[in-house]
Amino acid sequence: GENVEQHPSTLSVQEGDSAVIKCTYSDSASNYFPWYKQELGKRPQLIIDIRSNVGEKKDQRIAVTLNKTAKHFSLHITETQPEDSAVYFCAASISNAGGTSYGKLTFGQGTILTVHP
């Protein structure tokens, strides 16, 4: 089955700096890659996702890049703010031919991001 490795496990940055979290996956058939943010004691929430037909996607201060050849994808957060402090999870899954995913995600181990004011 799919295996997703996520690094680093912890990341500490100063407010305004950029943060990068990297993930690798093992199954070349995976074609859907979401990122979830989980604040302390809260539920995971989707912040951005990317499908294998694109190499990069941006949404304001966050961006995700995908390298299918190398089987890795990364989350980039620019101009970090204290409210970005949370645990971030990458995930991978295989969508069916219709382009939908049944949510059978394989998650990475998580990265604890701390943004210091």
Partner 1 sequence: IAGITQAPTSQILAAGRRMTLRCTQDMRHNAMYWYRQDLGLGLRLIHYSNTAGTTGKGEVPDGYSVSRANTDDFPLTLASAVPSQTSVYFCASSDSWGANVLTFGAGSRLTVL
Catalog residues that contact partner 1 under the rule CB under 8 A: 1, 4, 6, 9, 32, 34, 36, 42-46, 49, 89, 95, 98, 100-110
Of residues 14 and 100, the one with the C-beta less far from partner 1: 100
Nearer to partner 1, 36 or 73 (CB): 36
Q: How far is the CB of 81 from partner 1 (least distance, A)?
A: 23
Beta strands, E only, the chain: 4-7, 10-14, 19-25, 32-38, 45-51, 56-59, 62-67, 72-77, 86-92, 106-107, 111-116
- Quick one: 29 or 46, whose CB is closer to partner 1? 46
Q: ω into residue 8 within 30 of 0, thus cis?
A: yes
